[in-house]
A and B are shown apart, each in its own frame.
Chain A
Amino acid sequence: MTALLEVEDLRVAYGKIEAVKGISFSVEAGQVVTLIGTNGAGKTTTLRTLSGLLKPTSGKILFEGKPLTGVPAHKIVALGLAHSPEGRHIFPRLTIFENLQLGAFLRNDKEGIAKDIQKAYDLFPILGERRNQAAGTLSGGEQQMLAMGRALMSQPKLLMLDEPSMGLSPIMMQKIMATIAELKSQGTTILLVEQNAQAALSLADQGHVMEVGNIVLSGTGQDLLHDESVRKAYLGED
């Protein structure tokens, strides 16, 4: 069986500076895979390339066996790959309801969309309470919920979450991580980029540690969680 997503020797550069230097990994359907690493490791660049916002200099991206390289970003969503970007990037002057609707921009089934918006409200009750409020007025954690809910609205086969816990209070971070665990238990396939390595690895089936554009270590979430070098570098233990 082929993986849902296969990345082979992917290289991405900003001008002359190479940010991703030939990485390979795969995501099987139903798995949660995480990329961890410090700032500037190339995690966000990798996700932005997968969703078509950046063009790779070389390498292969196969989604359900079909190449994604060269496909424009707006068509990649249609194939079933949703991306909740770093920094949330909700549409601040549209309402929460309108943001969720935009997540379903390519869908035509009105009833299905209404049902999924209700699902998002069930998953994040605060969004339902504030559905007609401008999204820019939400707190950081609430905006993160909206960004995740919006990404789910396209009924993705693969959900990519970029730093969902960034800048959140510890309580809010726990809530977001619990939601990711819930999505996992529902069978959602997730590619998770996180700086909070502890939380990400505890959830993940597979993990990859990135350092300055390379994957330096791979393993199951549990293996990495107990790996000495990972504990030292990313979990704050001496």
Chain B
Amino acid sequence: MNTLPQQLANGLLLGSMYGLIAIGYTMVYGIVQLINFAHGEIFMTGAFGAFTVYFYILPDGTSMAVAVPLMLIGGGLVAILIAVGAERFAYRPLRGAPRLAPLITAIGLSLALQEVVRNFYPGADRAIAFPGLDTTHDIGSITIKDADIFLILSAIVCMAALAYFVRKSRTGRAMQATAQDPDTAQLMGIDTNRIIVIAFAIGGFFAAVAAVAYGLKYGNIDYRMGFLMGLKAFTAAVLGGIGNIYGAMLGGLVLGIAETLASAYIDEIPGMQQLGGQSWANVWAFCLLILVLLVRPQGLLGERVADRA
């Protein structure tokens, strides 16, 4: 099994991407108990925002070292704008409504965003070629691309920055308070609407970072890319314990690695020869989710929800 290190690396990379997107699900859920099912599409619009900067704004031949940061800013702005707009105009009016209402709204918003991009973004009715970062490096028996290095570094930087922000900053403390008890947070003088907007914005930005990494790694983007990635990231958030930011990252990594290893090696188990390969990857990912929900419904790092006094 000398392919194992490479498969582990692949899983880790995929998992970092899931984890970055999962942050958006988990932060929003942690604060307003809403599953923002349009988050996958926020990821998708981040990719199109970044592509717009690259293709329509930057002059031809701009070096990628300059282009990538600008693409992050462009994609990030688009994703933040859409995430915050969704909160302000779609979810906020429904706060206090029965749970089903914002859920259906989220699904509607997700379809609407897909269709708007498909119909109005030039050429988006099919896959669009995204600039790749394809230079490869060999590290021992592992081969990785520049895009992979970008992905892993940005995941580390984003997570470290978020952990620091939540634990150490005044706004981060206010965010924890709002997540634990929103009414009482207001009694402390915390503007909880502002905290909710910040949670959506951070989630949007992280999704855009993942989207840029996705484009650089896979070399193309399309209007449906958010559906499966969003679903997987949601799975990662639940797997790690929804509401817990470290859980989201851990859940992403576990899911990425499990999915990659299962598709690579499961056909070596006698009787399972039919079940190998990439086409079964999603099946293993969602099997893992079902297993976790059965055995540990609160997720890997989630706490049991205790009743408040």
Contacts and interface: CB of A to CB of B under 8 A. Distances in A.
Interface of A: 51-53, 72-75, 77-78, 82-83, 85, 87-89, 91-94, 98, 101-103, 105-106, 140, 150, 154, 167
Task: Classify the secondary structure of B's interface with A.
Answer: helix
A89 to B, nearest CB: 4
Interface string B114-139: 00000000000000000000000000
B190 interface: yes
A74 B181 contact: no
Contact of A106 (B180, B181, B183, B189): B189
Contact of A92 (B174, B180, B183, B185): B180
Contacts of B180: 91-94
Nearest to A136: B306
Contact of A74 (B170, B173, B192): B192
A238 B213 CA distance: 77
Interface of B: 170, 173-174, 176-177, 180-181, 183-192, 308-309
B183 A74 contact: no
Given A74-B192, A94-B176, 6 more contacts: A73-B183, A74-B188, A87-B308, A89-B183, A91-B181, A93-B180
22 contacts: A51-B187, A52-B186, A72-B186, A74-B189, A74-B190, A74-B191, A74-B192, A82-B187, A87-B308, A89-B181, A89-B183, A91-B181, A93-B176, A94-B177, A94-B180, A102-B174, A102-B177, A102-B190, A105-B188, A105-B190, A106-B188, A154-B188
B183 A85 contact: yes
Contacts of A51: 187
B184 A91 contact: yes
A85 B192 CA distance: 17
Contact of A53 (B177, B187, B190): B187
A82 B189 CA distance: 9
A85 B309 contact: no
B176 A91 contact: yes
A111 B191 CA distance: 24
Closest 7 CB pairs of A and B: A73-B186, A77-B189, A106-B189, A89-B184, A105-B188, A91-B180, A105-B189
A53 B173 contact: no
Nearest to B187: A83
A105 B309 CA distance: 24
Nearest to B180: A91
